[in-house]
């Protein structure tokens, strides 16, 4: 029998965790896993590191925002999804460390196999696609809510199926999800084509402030902490701004740096030629070859920018 299925079948009280700063793949694949476990008549709790961003709130409210001051009891199994290493659990590592059995399902090639049972495949488009395969292998029914959650996960990590990580098989999976009667156009509109007015105006400012280096092969934007207040938006509601410099003609690598909560979050994207996963590793982070990131602590925005430009310069000028 499948080892993951065996662990789930033998557990009764299960915690689900995904990476900090949850994105649609982390959120969607966790909700799908939770729904499947619930359908089996077992108890599962999904712990978020913080409230989910505005545009994903319509998907579900069936989760707990983790509070370290509270005690949540013990879980006999913890399942980590879309999480490249245990540091990416943030404060919820307390739940992970208390569990006897742990599972790690992820598609970040830099994943360090930190759990008891690890299913890691860096060639998969998304953790959502891996959950689809797992549920199919386990003979679990893909219900309409599960199909909606997985559609959000897969469509988001593939940039609506346009990134190189989307394989012919990814689209077969999505075709199966569509057969469950999901409204894919409405889901896509909510996830990709809806913004608050403040977030959209902030992006306008970001567009006007793109910096270019190395003959335009590196395009970069920075967001300081004050800009979110200036446009009356919550930081997490702004989403990925790294795709804005990525679309500038001639760009090989695009970068966004945003200062929040005393850290500088660095997002990196490649347009194909360079492996930004290894650049992220040099910065203490991780990810995929085409999309990766790192979080720099105890550093000012300007200092972080200088550091990132220098490292990328070494890669580009090789």
Per-residue DSSP letters for 109-120? TT----SSEEEE
CA angle 244, 209, 282 (to 5 degrees): 65
Q: Minimum distance between the CB of residue 280 and Mn ion, rounded to whole angstroms?
A: 14
Establish if 25 lies at the interface with Mn ion (CB under 5 A): yes
- Residues 65-84 touching Mn ion, rule: CB under 5 A, are 82
Q: Minimum distance between the CB of residue 188 and Mn ion, rounded to whole angstroms?
A: 17
Cβ closest to Mn ion, residue 126 vs residue 256? 126
Cβ closest to Mn ion, residue 30 vs residue 127? 127
Cβ closest to Mn ion, residue 15 vs residue 24? 24
| Position of minimal CB gap to Mn ion | 25
Q: Which stretch binds Mn ion (CB under 5 A): 115-123, 157-165, 171-179, 191-199?
A: 157-165
Establish if 22 lies at the interface with Mn ion (CB under 5 A): no
Q: Could you give the C-alpha distances from 213 to 198, 219, 308, in angstroms and in order?
A: 29, 6, 11
State the sign of the Cα–Cα–Cα–Cα dihedral 242, 248, 249, 252.
Answer: negative
Q: Minimum distance between the CB of residue 87 and Mn ion, rounded to whole angstroms?
A: 16
Cβ closest to Mn ion, residue 49 vs residue 222? 49
Q: Minimum distance between the CB of residue 81 and Mn ion, rounded to whole angstroms?
A: 9
Distance, CA of 159 to CA of 23 (rounded, Å): 12
Q: Which stretch binds Mn ion (CB under 5 A): 119-127, 158-166, 213-221, 239-247?
A: 119-127
Q: Minimum distance between the CB of residue 106 and Mn ion, rounded to whole angstroms?
A: 8
Cβ closest to Mn ion, residue 47 vs residue 75? 47
Q: Which stretch binds Mn ion (CB under 5 A): 18-26, 129-137, 196-204, 233-241?
A: 18-26
Residues 245, 223 contacting (CB under 8 angstroms): no
Q: Which stretch binds Mn ion (CB under 5 A): 14-22, 23-31, 117-125, 158-166?
A: 23-31
Q: Minimum distance between the CB of residue 226 and Mn ion, rounded to whole angstroms?
A: 30
**Size, binding site for Mn ion by CB under 5 A:** 5
At 31 the three-state DSSP class reads helix
Residues 253, 297 contacting (CB under 8 angstroms): no
Distance, CA of 102 to CA of 116 (rounded, Å): 5
Distance, CA of 295 to CA of 307 (rounded, Å): 13
Cβ closest to Mn ion, residue 162 vs residue 310? 162
Cβ closest to Mn ion, residue 127 vs residue 267? 127
Distance, CA of 93 to CA of 44 (rounded, Å): 17
Residues 237, 227 contacting (CB under 8 angstroms): no
Distance, CA of 95 to CA of 73 (rounded, Å): 9
Cβ closest to Mn ion, residue 150 vs residue 220? 150
Establish if 35 lies at the interface with Mn ion (CB under 5 A): no
Establish if 157 lies at the interface with Mn ion (CB under 5 A): yes
Q: If you search the block for the tokens 């410099």, which residue do you land on?
A: 245
Q: Minimum distance between the CB of residue 277 and Mn ion, rounded to whole angstroms?
A: 13
> Half-sphere exposure of 34 toward its Cβ, with a 13 Å CA cutoff?
24
Distance, CA of 277 to CA of 294 (rounded, Å): 10
Q: Which stretch binds Mn ion (CB under 5 A): 121-129, 143-151, 251-259, 298-306?
A: 121-129
Residues 176, 208 contacting (CB under 8 angstroms): no
Cβ closest to Mn ion, residue 80 vs residue 206? 80
Tell me, what DSSP letter sits at residue 67?
Answer: -
Question: What is the contact surface with Mn ion in residues (CB under 5 A)?
Answer: 25, 82, 126-127, 157
């Amino acid at each position: 029998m499948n080892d993951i299925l065996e662990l789930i079948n033998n557990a009764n009280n299960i915690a689900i965790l995904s990476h900090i700063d949850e994105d649609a793949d982390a959120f969607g694949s966790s909700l799908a896993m939770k729904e499947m476990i619930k359908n089996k008549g077992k108890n599962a709790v999904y712990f978020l590191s913080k409230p989910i961003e505005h545009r994903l709130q319509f998907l579900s409210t069936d989760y707990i925002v983790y509070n370290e001051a509270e005690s949540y009891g013990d879980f006999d199994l913890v399942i980590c999804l879309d999480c490249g290493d245990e540091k990416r659990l943030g404060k919820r590592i307390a739940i992970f460390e208390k569990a006897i059995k742990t599972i790690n399902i992820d598609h970040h090639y830099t994943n360090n196999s930190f759990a008891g049972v690890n299913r890691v495949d860096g060639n998969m488009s998304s953790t959502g696609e891996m959950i689809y395969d797992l549920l199919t292998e386990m003979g679990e029914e893909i219900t309409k809510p599960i199909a909606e959650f997985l559609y959000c996960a897969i469509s988001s990590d593939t940039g609506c199926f346009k990134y190189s990580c989307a394989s012919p098989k990814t689209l077969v999976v999505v075709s199966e999800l569509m057969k469950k009667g999901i409204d894919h156009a409405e889901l896509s509109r909510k996830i990709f084509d809806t913004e608050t007015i403040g977030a959209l105006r902030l992006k306008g400012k970001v567009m006007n402030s793109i910096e270019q280096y190395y003959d335009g092969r590196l395009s970069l934007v920075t967001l300081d902490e004050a800009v979110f207040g200036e446009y009356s938006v919550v930081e997490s509601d702004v989403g990925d701004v790294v795709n804005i410099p990525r679309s500038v003609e001639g760009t090989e690598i695009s970068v966004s740096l945003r200062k929040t909560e005393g850290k500088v979050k660095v997002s990196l994207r490649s347009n194909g030629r360079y492996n930004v996963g290894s650049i992220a590793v040099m910065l203490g982070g991780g990810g995929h070859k085409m999309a990766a990131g790192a979080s720099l602590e105890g550093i000012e925005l300007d200092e972080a920018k200088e550091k990132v430009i220098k490292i990328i310069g070494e890669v580009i000028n090789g």
